[in-house]
Amino acid sequence: MEKKNPLRITETILRDAHQSQAATRMRIEDMLPACELLDNMGYWSLECWGGATFDVCMRFLNEDPWERLRTLKAHMPKTKLQMLFRGQNILGYKHYADDVVEEFCQKSIENGIDVVRVFDALNDIRNLRKAVESVKKYGGWAEVALSYTVSPVHNDDYFVGLAKDLEKMGADSICIKDMANLLLPLHAYDLVRKLKDSVSVPIHLHTHNTAGTGDMVNLMACQAGVDIVDCALSPLANGTSQPATESLVATLQGSDRDTGLDLAKLNEAATHFRKVADKLKKEGFLDPKVLQVDTKALMYQVPGGMLSNMLGQLKQAGQEDRYYDVLAEVPRVRKDFGYPPLVTPTSQIVGTQAVMNIVAGERYKMVPKESKGLLRGEYGKLPGKVNEEVRRKCIGDDKVITCRPADLLKPELPQYREESKDIARCEEDVLSYALFPQVARKFMEARNNPKPAEPEKKAADPNAVRELYVEDLGR
């Protein structure tokens, strides 16, 4: 008899699924009716927080993200709750001082998070260390991610070496974070095998189905011995989201990797979320385009969300006909910048620079501060060799940072406490303010002085909202 080795599932319906397809617009009221069912499903974890949810809760949904987390924990006490955490960026777009990173990890765990998936856009392990140490200090499970990409410097040896370093750092599990669906099925088999042979902690795979290969990637990784994979219930699965949970569960039934999940219960949960998906569609946030297979991600190594963002920028400039010129420019900019993986925030930086190079008619004639920051080392160490001629043109004689960027930051919490003392009711409020000062202030002022609620205005162009907050399939 074959020895059973059940594949474990992380369900993303409460976070990445609706972030990737519906501008992160699922509300707590949409989640609660299914919570008991989800909690009894037998998932390894439920991803429900972090990424774009924190910002969108306050900015658009009039929800306190901390209260959402506490509510979900109260309704799902049996299952590990998981979040996505951008290393030294936390959930924002700049580096924060270590005191902010530590307290955010502490409060996330105190309020209900069990598993924290930590990643860095550049795979600079210096930007991961403080978050990993803090998660473990406060009793959480530190899952550390390899931001997967394809380039001359990103090969299997690179990722295996990185995984070994992360295990030494204290990672409880290692995630292959394939945010752009670039990992192809046969390569997934090889990479998982090499990682399983090189580290002793569980290997977790996160992919999307943008290019239509996600189900095959999961299946080949499963055959190679991957321990956990991310899936989404079918109403918000596939396309720019994760492969469908039910399909993989059905595929593995009766095999040595049988997940043990009940298809009937999964279908019952899917029935609820089908209604939620219909509502999001009526509200204009679920565009059928996000369900279509788009192989441009494989051709240009560009995440789907980044493609739509660049198209929006070209529309604003009245140069939509330059779309393919921009697509061809993206790999050139990425090479000049030392081959950063394209995930928040590097995806936005490289994509915007490519648009500016084409629109201006001269490469690096216009250079946004974010591009300059990336080339100065403000985001960490770039993985490949930077084009020094381009760097000089962009930042002149500015000194390049070679230390961990956060080492240059003094403790920030005292300042944030002082700035938010008129609106903050608790330390969680201070952290909300630290990450999104303007958004949090507006939210807390309205919360502290409630007025009759106004319905959220439907965006004139739902795609414009999605471009900003879906984040390049990997936030």
pLDDT digits (tens, 9 = 90+) for 308-317: 678 778 888 8
CA dist 92 and 222 (Å) reads 33
User: Tokens in use for 141?
Assistant: 């499970």
**Other Cβ atoms closer than 10 A to 254:** 7
Which pLDDT belongs to residue 456?
Answer: 55
> pTM for this structure?
0.92
Q: Are 402 and 369 in contact (CB under 8 A)?
A: no
Is the pLDDT assigned to residue 63 strictly greater than 50? yes
Higher pLDDT, 303 or 42: 42
Measure the CA angle with vertex 291, ends 290 and 296; round to 5°: 70
Per-residue pLDDT tens digits for 312-364: 788 888 888 998 899 899 999 999 999 999 988 898 899 999 999 999 999 99
pLDDT band at 474 (very low <50, low <70, confident <90, very high): very low
CA dist 388 and 335 (Å) reads 11
**Alpha helices (H) along 76-125:** 98-110
pLDDT band at 299 (very low <50, low <70, confident <90, very high): confident
Q: Are 433 and 419 in contact (CB under 8 A)?
A: yes
Which pLDDT belongs to residue 475?
Answer: 41
Cα–Cα distances (Å) from 441 to 172, 253, 380, 430, 446, in that order, read 36, 50, 30, 10, 9
